[in-house]
Amino acid sequence: MSALTKALRRTWQSLDKAVYDQLYGGRKSRMTGTGLSQAINDLPQQPTLLVVAHPDDEALGAGALLTRLANVSIVIVTDGAPADGTAARAAGFDGNTAYRQARVQETSDALALIGRGDVPVIRLGFADQQAVANIPRIVPRLMEIMRAGKFRYVVTHPYEGGHPDHDATALAVHAACFLLREEKFEAPVPVEMTSYHLNNGRMVYGGFLAAPGAGAVEVFTLNAGEQDRKQRMLQCYRTQYRTLTEFPLDAERFRIAPLYDFLEPPHPGSLAYETFMWRMDGAGWRRAAGRALNRLGLLQPS
């Protein structure tokens, strides 16, 4: 990143912060409370909605769970293709159109490999790395899907600063469930799967960030056959496979989600995605989240 680009970005961030503080400064989220406290050992037997940010997240966090769930649908929020086309070119594609198609096929191949080609997959199609800007559009779609499906659980990402789309997907799921409960609809219980985050400067894969109010961790241990099947499932994501090898295969972990304050950092220090030199940083993400909450009527009055 050039010095000029850095200077322009700092200027934009300062202006964005000034405008945000003037309009929304000091306003808190209405999504407050104590959260839920219950066991989730019945997860495989219950109707479940799996909501993930990208094609491949469903396999990383819940590939083995997908083979155990009796009734499941999948929502993929983004198309997995950053708008600038850099990921497509790095994967050997001329542009995003072919790259998007490849990522769709990878998910289909992975589900077919584990015998779950019958699972409904709903693709919302938002651009990779831009989910937070689209939360006001994502939430109504999720509410519609949840009303139609009458799911007991919704499994999604934790809020941990691993990827801005993961955090935006988590916020969207929590907002959809909160708004449904305000409508007196029995919303699904938010459950988290593991992903990745920074802990004291070290990347952690397949474990949870400690969070007040989170439920006990339910560990689904994978036997040798299940580990081999999950490995072959991940190999279906040919465009991403080099980035997937850090994730453990021995177990999948889930817990009841805490009730996050998405306007506060998920942990002290740098967030994982801030180390990737992307355009989004944590402070900018939280301002975008605050604007989204305001549009959804989920900010407290000033």
How many other CB atoms sit within 10 Å of the CB of residue 222? 19
* Cross-strand bridge partners of residue 286: none
Band of residue 267 on the pLDDT scale cut at 50, 70, 90: very high
Predicted local confidence at residue 38, as pLDDT: 77
Which is higher by pLDDT, 150 or 7?
Answer: 150
Which is higher by pLDDT, 241 or 224?
Answer: 224
Mean pLDDT, residues 69-77:
97
Predicted local confidence at residue 34, as pLDDT: 60
Predicted local confidence at residue 51, as pLDDT: 98
Under DSSP, the state recorded for 29 is: B
Band of residue 280 on the pLDDT scale cut at 50, 70, 90: confident
**How much is the pTM?**
0.95
Q: Which domains does the chain have, with CATH numbers?
A: 39-295 (3.40.50.10320)
Q: What is the pLDDT of residues 81-119, one digit of tens each?
A: 999 999 999 999 999 999 999 999 999 999 999 999 999
Exposed, middle or buried: residue 146 (CB in 10 Å: 0-12, 13-18, 19+)? Answer: buried
Which is higher by pLDDT, 3 or 271?
Answer: 271
Predicted local confidence at residue 1, as pLDDT: 56
Closest CA to 161 of 247, 266, 37, 52: 266
- C-alpha dihedral, 258 to 21 to 163 to 117, nearest 10°: 70
Q: In what order do the strands lie in the sheet with 72-82?
A: 121-128, 72-82, 48-52, 153-156, 189-193, 251-256, 218-221
Query: Residue 188 to residues 26, 58, 300: CA-CA distances in angstroms?
Result: 30, 18, 24
- For the ranges 4-13, 50-59, 64-73, 146-155, which has the lowest average pLDDT? 4-13
Band of residue 37 on the pLDDT scale cut at 50, 70, 90: low
Share of the chain above pLDDT 90, in %: 84
Exposed, middle or buried: residue 42 (CB in 10 Å: 0-12, 13-18, 19+)? Answer: exposed
Cβ 29 vs Cβ 298: under 8 Å: yes
β pairing state of 251-256 and 218-221: antiparallel
* Cross-strand bridge partners of residue 191: 155, 256
